[in-house]
Amino acid sequence: MPEDRLHALYRTYGPALYARCRQILGDDAAAADAAQETFLRLHRHLDRAPDASQALAYIYRVATNYCLNQARDRRRRAEPMADLPDVLGADAERLLEDRDLARRLITTAPPKVAEVAWLHLADGMTQDEVARVLGISRRTVVSRLADFHRHARTLTGSSPS
């Protein structure tokens, strides 16, 4: 019967999970690997997975942590990147740089801080939603967001506003 539950979770949440991984990792193949790894981890701990009403939040949490760790590890390996095509205008280049900076800032933050920052800043969840998904208090969310902003200011050399 656990296999049936896993298959049902995969059919229901597989596409959303892949999209989630793709958003964080920015790569189709890495997203497919991350989605597969998430479901393997879910299979190993299926007895701990919550019921259907909380399943997506749980699966997102597992995937987010895995993807942020993958992004952090990928950055440590520092693969050379090809130059951006010349056809991109200044606005498109700036947008790509901003998204890249945001991803780098989040993936260099401590894991618990990065998880909160991603859910709130990248996914657009409210602080209450982040608290509910992660099973922590709203005060903890606020504290971790403040930690993230200090981390970002330190890395970018910005002064507090």
Give the orientation angle of helix 138-156 with respect to helix 90-108, to 10 degrees. Answer: 120
More confident residue, 124 or 91: 124
pLDDT at 107: 81
The phi and psi torsions of 37 (rounded to 5 degrees) equal: -60, -40
pLDDT at 95: 47
Cα distances (angstroms) measured from residue 109 to each of 9, 38, 62: 30, 21, 17
CB-CB neighbours of 116 under 10 Å: 27
pLDDT at 86: 43
pLDDT at 45: 76
The pLDDT tens digits of the residues spanning 14-40 come to 888 898 898 888 888 999 999 999 988
Domains of the chain: 1-80 (1.10.1740.10), 85-161 (1.10.10.10)
More confident residue, 158 or 130: 130
Q: Stretch 124-144: mean pLDDT, rounded?
A: 90
Residue 110 tokens read as: 């401590």
More confident residue, 100 or 20: 20
Q: What is the pTM of this model?
A: 0.56
Instruction: Reply yes or no on whether the pLDDT at 88 is more than 60.
Output: no
Give the orientation angle of helix 52-77 with respect to helix 90-108, to 10 degrees. Answer: 100
